[in-house]
Chain A
């Protein structure tokens, strides 16, 4: 088949007939795309779909009236940022010509290509993009629950939990102990727990310098570990203790009333305890039958099309994207890939190869930034892998150009720019 095709093309090219710029029968992408979730993944997908193909009818389903971002929510917890700083309006998405439907997607019928909302509304689609973020798996940690989270906050979804943890830290006496329970991989924002520890340490250093931070980790290694630990030593000497899983750091149970956590390390009492529980794909992804046994959504690495259902793409934290971390930057990049693949498919073209990139800035304090960045390649056999001999973390030792200060400034500018790219 292939040989025949190529031979035919060579013949045609020799005859000067196949030199058109668009060697396919072009037809404008028309039809309807429904997007679930207006976070970094969903809002980017909706806006890029509409911008690239204005004839598309693009509907974005979101249960909140505005978005609270996890990026910079650690700044709120440490008192450096306000909730207003992390609140993103959906007006720019609406202005781009996307129809926003307020509501919660409860079920997807992938055979009938329809989404049912909590209020009973049915929305039909030609293509569906699912970007619901994470669901916290409270029950995976004995003693933890949604109720326990009102005493031992997770603050892993920005919102009331962010403010609850902030108020507990404000009320904590100087000399108190703040315990952070960090989860095993994979989870949303791999450097996030350690940025949180850093920024809270920065707050303690200024206001409650006798306080201690204990990190009990279900892992033996973490994102930007060398950079974080060097910063903890130089900026907050003696304040932070990190216990790896192999040293007994994996927390087996928590007791909200007693404010204790139990690990191989023993039972520890904390004045404030932040429990970041295990996670899984957003509930709608499970309801739609898009998840594998591990709780996450397998996708084609070229298009982010679900391998579980036709005409459905999954982007962002819910998807299994090989080496890419679960981050706002990843979701933004994946959404562009899915949008381009959907448009190509509706136009009758094969998908192009995806361009995938991620960057995660973390702040140790408001003037001390570090980063990890990678360019990725998608391969049909190995999935998504980092491009060799590139990427990685910030320099181990800053030079005369003050990388830490610059990257703190870039972190803030990154937030403004990704917000503009995502929500307009």
Chain B
């Protein structure tokens, strides 16, 4: 199945190729789910670790970039944020910001 062309009614072509079907790195959802180990399921954290659920994506993104560039003090978040590209930070923030 993987990597094969599939013809469906109407002649449209669907492709199950990793190079097309997904980005090179992990999805925003998958990366966001690693946050839950400290920030709780779906980001609904117990205090004093900050809640990252129901926070707008642009705020999350700005915070993460500030941690990454050490413009915002942190204990551990600078070490973590430096592990992600700006694009990955955007993907994580967009996913978390989209959670209801």
CA distance A273 to B26 in the complex (A): 45
CA distance A22 to B17 in the complex (A): 11
CA distance A350 to B6 in the complex (A): 15
Q: Which residues of A contact B84 (CB under 8 A)?
A: 375, 387, 390
CA distance A198 to B25 in the complex (A): 39
Contact in complex: B20, A374 (CB < 8 Å): no
Q: Which residues of A contact B24 (CB under 8 A)?
A: 353
Q: Which residues of B contact A356 (CB under 8 A)?
A: 34
Contact in complex: B37, A348 (CB < 8 Å): no
Partner of B48, one of A349, A373, A413: A413
A8 proximal to B (CB < 8 A): yes
Q: Is the interface of A mostly helix, strand, loop or mixed?
A: mixed
Within 8 A of A (CB), among B59-81: 73, 75-76, 79-81
CA distance A340 to B30 in the complex (A): 8
Contact in complex: B83, A421 (CB < 8 Å): no
Q: Which residues of A contact B12 (CB under 8 A)?
A: 12, 17-18, 20
Residues of chain B at interface, number, CB under 8 A: 48
Given known contacts A12-B13, A23-B14, is B26 in contact with A354 (CB within 8 Å)?
A: yes
A407 proximal to B (CB < 8 A): yes
Most buried by B among A350, A392, A395, A424: A350
Contact in complex: A417, B75 (CB < 8 Å): no
A371 proximal to B (CB < 8 A): yes
Give the shortest distance, in Å, between B39 (CB) and chain A (any CB).
6
CA distance A265 to B15 in the complex (A): 65
Given known contacts A352-B26, A421-B41, is B16 in contact with A336 (CB within 8 Å)?
A: no
Within 8 A of B (CB), among A386-424: 387, 389-392, 394-395, 399, 401, 403, 406-407, 409-410, 413-414, 416-418, 420-421, 424
Give the shortest distance, in Å, between A364 (CB) and chain B (any CB).
15
Given known contacts A23-B15, A348-B16, A354-B26, is B21 in contact with A417 (CB within 8 Å)?
A: no
Determine the residue in chain B with the shortest Cβ distance to A348.
B1
Contact in complex: A421, B36 (CB < 8 Å): yes
Give the shortest distance, in Å, between A315 (CB) and chain B (any CB).
14
Given known contacts A18-B13, A354-B26, is B76 in contact with A390 (CB within 8 Å)?
A: no
Contact in complex: A390, B38 (CB < 8 Å): no
CA distance A418 to B38 in the complex (A): 6
A1 proximal to B (CB < 8 A): yes
Q: Give 11 A-B pairs besides A5-B17, A332-B37, A417-B45 with Cβ atoms closer than 8 angstroms.
A: A23-B20, A25-B6, A352-B27, A352-B30, A353-B30, A375-B84, A387-B82, A406-B75, A410-B38, A410-B48, A417-B38
